[in-house]
Amino acid sequence: MAFSIRNITKVPELRRRILFTLAILAVYRLGVFITIPGVNRVEMQHVVTKGGTGSFLGMFDMFSGGALQQFSIFTLGIMPYVTASIVMQLLTVVVPKLDQLNKEGEQGKKKINQYTRYGTILIAAVQAWFAASYVESLSRGGAEVVADPGLTFHLVTVLTMTTGTAVIMWFGELITESGIGNGSSMIIFAGIVAAMPDAVTQFLAGGGGSDVGGLTVLFMMFLVVATVAGICYFERAHRRIPVQYTKRQVGRKMYSGAQSFLPLKINVSGVIPPIFASSILMFPAQIANMADSGWLQEFSAVLHPADWRYNLIFTILVVFFAFFYTSVVFNPVDVADNLKKSGGFIPGIRPGKNTAQYIERVLSRITFAGALYLSVVCMIPALLQTYMSVPFSFGGTGLLIVVGVALDTVQQIESHLITRNYEGFAGPKGPRIRGRVAQRPR
């Protein structure tokens, strides 16, 4: 590892990109602690901590990097931009005009990115208004979070939070263009990693109590390592479909048919399914807290991570969103058409419609396996807290994001080093880290 880090310092461009990324993330973390005027951060911390990590507030605070506890200008985080991006991806499939823009190349993508920015500002403004209303409702309940509630507080909150979201969106684009890794993912990664020391401290403090012994602590450490290893395995796993290319003539030369394969990832949708499923299941609890209705509170009590019905509905939603998002981002018909145009075919399968049906059948099977893997990883913390009373506050969704972003970032650094004839992180004799998409052999 020391040899690999020394190689990073020898590449000026890579060194500059890493330092630039760290500088942007440092500025982002400083902004997390700038509280909106008129808010008592101490009372807000008590409210979020009282809700617990399995609540809506706990999940929102995890994705905001602890900004919700401070009720800072970066409370909304990068999630409005992620939501707008997902909505634009879905609309690209439904709206023909957006689909045409997406196929126009770089200029069309710039136009879609501009629409995504407008959608981010709109979503952030709406969420900021509801956030201000929720904090004022806490003040009416006796928490005294807001010193001077009213229309002025609403306007200040909407202005500061929307501006903060725009700044974070700009930070993400800067990291993507001039830094290392995907900007939006790196910002979410930084927020979750920043909460890890506190989560580990709480776990060890609970592990040293009378209810949890040393063997349980060792078991939890082993389980965390095994979970991370499982995430690494499934995130890099893919099904290889063999592809044969026919002979072709270029000028006076005849090139023989090459053999390759089509890699299909087991988890095409990434962390989108658990995020959507958690948001939908946490939404009734949030509405019940704001409405103060008896039947709504009874319904929200059913949808609690400790209840078996919550786990069942969560698994069903994860499977549904995994299939839905995979069908949006991966089109077997287009893949079959591209193979046919390039002279490629799957042995034993006719080109065209039969190829598309075969790819869709294989993709459905591996997507189901990927959805079950996502459900198991995300439900591990809830099951531990319910049946073993283990104070494990770091969610499976957070582990998925951290490990996935870390793998992608390391793979990008590896690519920079290999391009400049340096050995990667695996060392001079070890295997290289494979990318998510395999290249055709030359």
**Which among 13-27, 224-238, 294-308, 322-336 has the top mean pLDDT?**
13-27
**pTM above the 0.85 mark?**
no
> Which span out of 195-209, 217-231, 253-267, 355-369 was modeled with the highest average pLDDT?
355-369
Of 380, 381, 375, residue with least CA distance to 393 = 381
pLDDT at residue 20, as a whole number: 93
pLDDT of 268 strictly over 90 = no
What percent of the chain has pLDDT above 90?
Answer: 12
Q: What is the pLDDT of residue 170?
A: 93
Q: What does the alpha-carbon distance between residue 325 and residue 406 come to, in Å, rounded to a whole number?
A: 23
- How do beta strands 344-345 and 238-245 pair? antiparallel
Looking at residues 357-365, what average pLDDT do you find?
91
Whole-number Å distance between alpha carbons of 356 and 335? 7
pLDDT at residue 387 in the model: 62
pLDDT band at residue 439, thresholds of 50, 70 and 90? Answer: very low
Whether residue 16 contacts residue 117, with contact meaning beta carbons closer than 8 Å, is answered with: no
Q: How many CB atoms lie within 10 A of CB 72?
A: 25
What is the length of the chain?
442
pLDDT for res 436 = 47
Query: Residue 442 pLDDT > 80, yes or no?
Result: no
Q: How confident is the model at residue 299 (pLDDT cuts 50, 70, 90)?
A: low
Q: Tens digits of per-residue pLDDT, 405-428? A: 888 888 888 887 777 665 555 555
Give the pLDDT score at 252.
Answer: 67
**Residue 23 pLDDT class (50, 70, 90 cuts):** very high
Q: Which fold has domain 1-194?
A: Preprotein translocase SecY subunit (1.10.3370)
Least confident of 15-19, 78-82, 219-223, 408-412: 219-223
pLDDT at 291 over 60: no
Q: Can you tell me the mean pLDDT for 339-360?
A: 86
**CATH 1.10.3370.10 domain extents, the chain:** 1-194, 210-394
Lowest-confidence region among 18-22, 46-50, 78-82, 434-438? 434-438
pLDDT single digits (tens) 124-153:
998 888 888 888 877 665 667 887 888 888
210-394 CATH pick, 2.40.100.20, 1.10.3370.10, 1.10.10.10, 1.10.600.10? 1.10.3370.10
In sequence order, which residues have a C-beta less than 8 Å from that of residue 256 and are 6 or more positions away?
Answer: 247
* Beta strands at 253-255 and 248-250: parallel, antiparallel or unpaired: antiparallel
In this prediction, residue 21 carries a pLDDT of 92
Q: Is the pLDDT of residue 298 over 90?
A: no
pLDDT tens by residue, 152-179 = 888 999 999 999 999 999 999 999 888 8
